[in-house]
Amino acid sequence: MGLGGTTLQTLKLATIPSPSSFRSVFKPSSRTFLYRNSHRQRPQFPLFSVRGFSASAVQATVTTAPKTTSPDEKGVKPQWKAAIDFKWIRDNKDTVASNIKKRNSNANLELVLELYNKMLNLQKLIVTHRKQEVERLRGERNAVANKMKGKLESAERQKLIEEGKDLKEGLLTLEEDLLKLIDELQQEAQCIPNMTHPDVPIGGEDSSTIRKTVGSPREFKFPVKDHLQLGKDLDLFDFDAASEVSGSKFYYLKNEAVMLEMGLINWTLLEVMKWGFTPLTTPEIVRSSVVEKCGFQPRGTNTQVYSIEGSDQCLIGTAEIPVGGIHMDSILSASLLPLKYVAVSHCFRTEAGAAGTATRGLYRVHQFSKLEMFILCQPEESDFYHEELIKIEEDLFSSLGLHYKTLDMASGDLGAPAYRKFDIEAWMPGLARFGEISSASNCTDYQSRRLGIRYRSSEPASTNPKKGKSNLSPPQFVHTLNATACAVPRMIVCLLENNQQEDGSVVIPEPLRPFMGGLELIQPKSR
């Protein structure tokens, strides 16, 4: 069921149907609202993609510190480590610095490099020290042992034991210093955003370029209603009851809106499966660490993430998180790649700070259903699959008869994980503007270096049988991509507003009808 070789261009963007400004066709400042935002707190580090570093070499630098040494330190230290290639950063300092600037990130490259050098020095010092201490301890212990055989006096024996302890603790202190340094380095380095595709337009949100436009705005001969009015007239939502039961920005879908949701999910899933994607449902409660490893910020005052009380778990803001986690900490066989998934899930977002008319009705809500595509592939293929993802999105939205445009998002508007991001914005006549309905991102190895997802090609082994021992090629980090196939509430906004008739009814797009009991029209209730 593959697509064949249909190639468009290559895109990559953050999965999340994020805010679109009410005034501008492009994005508001809070655009990349869920991802660790480079402008804000601590985004995470990515590596320039196509290079394919030896992961073992990279990790060796970090894992020197003995894990047993970490005592009762608490504080802000990370629970996990991203496999960041510090050596590459140091060797490509200028490129990384200009990328940070391009991305409008506040990552502190100088500090990262300084900490990295300190760490290298401390590691050397420890290695030397450890050798010496081990020698010295061995000698002393022998001495003590000999003396003990000669029935040492209890006080003197105690003194020697104390001396040995002190020496051991001296080394422990150095190793603790190293651990702290590594944590600090991780924290700072994780703020560094992914590198940027050379074709990405440089600048703020206004610099995003239009890549494609499909259709044109429908002309109405009658006064157009927005989706809220249509929903009210057709008895499709209940925001008031939800506000009492749950809080503002929650909603019940009612009547045909429920069928519309079902139709959208069912049809989209079957369509995307035709492209060779494996369907999934996912856990919607995940460990906070997985959220972080995908490049999101689960804690803090401005977080978009709901946390579960009394646990280290949170609710997912997008299925990208549990799908990204499926192959966490594993080495895949290259023959399995690409892995293409399409996941159905509910998504939960606090939407802290979001307010105003741009967020009315179903446009921005705390909970919604979404189908998300996710691909894991070899580095050299991620541009190709980014193209495939945007093609699938465009095909889906065209089949539903929408008028939309595809945008190549500007560097300043990318979340930290994205190497490139394509958004699709559809015309919403009731809101009288374009609104984001999907987002497709190529995250290259930004997420896989945090999630620990690598692959091993077996080719060198078979073609180089002479090399004997090193039969296996070193594992490399996969590239990950994610893209919205259907964010249900925004699609409902689009379909209601675009398909409304003068008599107040709404036409159901033909592809969805078989999944809605053959329903063709949403008509005003005759009460």
DSSP, residue by residue, 350-386? --TT--SGGGTGGGS-SEEEEEEEEEEE-GGGHHHHH
Asked if residue 511 binds a copy of itself (CB under 8 A), the reply is no
Question: For a copy of itself, how many residues bind (rule: CB under 8 A)?
Answer: 56
Nearest to 403 by CA among 371, 438, 428: 428
Minimum CB–partner distance for residue 56 and a copy of itself (Å): 22
Closer to a copy of itself at the Cβ: 421 or 490? Answer: 490
Contact 345, 319 (CB under 8 A): yes
Minimum CB–partner distance for residue 347 and a copy of itself (Å): 11
CA pair distance 387, 12, nearest whole angstrom? 8
DSSP, residue by residue, 374-434? EEEE-GGGHHHHHHHHHHHHHHHHHHTT--EEEEE--GGG--TT-SEEEEEEEEETTTTEE
Contact 217, 427 (CB under 8 A): yes
Closer to a copy of itself at the Cβ: 295 or 412? Answer: 295
The correct pick among 258, 355, 432, 521 for binding a copy of itself (CB under 8 A) is: 258
For a copy of itself, which stretch binds (CB under 8 A), given 12-20, 31-39, 251-259, 477-485?
A: 251-259
CB neighbour list of residue 139: distance below 8 Å, 6 or more residues apart: none
436 assigned binding-site residue: yes
> What is the phi/psi pair of residue 171, to 5°?
-65, -40
For a copy of itself, which stretch binds (CB under 8 A), given 218-226, 252-260, 401-409, 420-428?
A: 252-260
Interface pattern 364-383 for a copy of itself (x via CB under 8 A): --xx-x--------------
The correct pick among 139, 170, 217, 514 for binding a copy of itself (CB under 8 A) is: 514
Query: How far is C-alpha 303 from the chain's CA centre?
Result: 14
For a copy of itself, which stretch binds (CB under 8 A), given 68-76, 138-146, 283-291, 372-380?
A: 283-291
Interface pattern 324-343 for a copy of itself (x via CB under 8 A): -xxxxx--------------
Asked if residue 282 binds a copy of itself (CB under 8 A), the reply is yes
Closer to a copy of itself at the Cβ: 176 or 284? Answer: 284
Asked if residue 521 binds a copy of itself (CB under 8 A), the reply is no
368 assigned binding-site residue: yes
- 211: amino acid identity, one letter: R
Three-class HEC string of 273-298: HCCCCEEEECCCEEEHHHHHHCCECC
Distances (CA, A) of 472 to 48, 52, 275, 291, 334: 24, 15, 32, 32, 12
Closer to a copy of itself at the Cβ: 3 or 97? Answer: 3
The correct pick among 157, 287, 360, 513 for binding a copy of itself (CB under 8 A) is: 287
CB neighbour list of residue 266: distance below 8 Å, 6 or more residues apart: 515
Asked if residue 310 binds a copy of itself (CB under 8 A), the reply is yes
Closer to a copy of itself at the Cβ: 14 or 286? Answer: 286
Q: What is the H or E stretch that residue 340 is in? A: strand 339-348
Environment class of residue 52 by beta-carbon count within 10 Å: exposed (0-12), middle (13-18) or buried (19+)? middle
Query: Please, what sign has the CA dihedral across residues 220, 221, 225, 227?
Result: negative
Asked if residue 253 binds a copy of itself (CB under 8 A), the reply is yes
Asked if residue 245 binds a copy of itself (CB under 8 A), the reply is yes
Going by the annotation, the residues of the binding site for ATP are: 349-351, 365-368, 436-439
Going by the annotation, the residues of the binding site for L-serine are: 318, 349, 372, 482
Q: Could you list the residues that contact a copy of itself (CB under 8 A)? A: 238, 241-242, 244-247, 250-255, 257-259, 261-262, 265-266, 269-270, 273, 278-287, 290, 306-310, 313, 315, 322, 325-329, 344, 346, 348, 366-367, 369, 514-515, 517
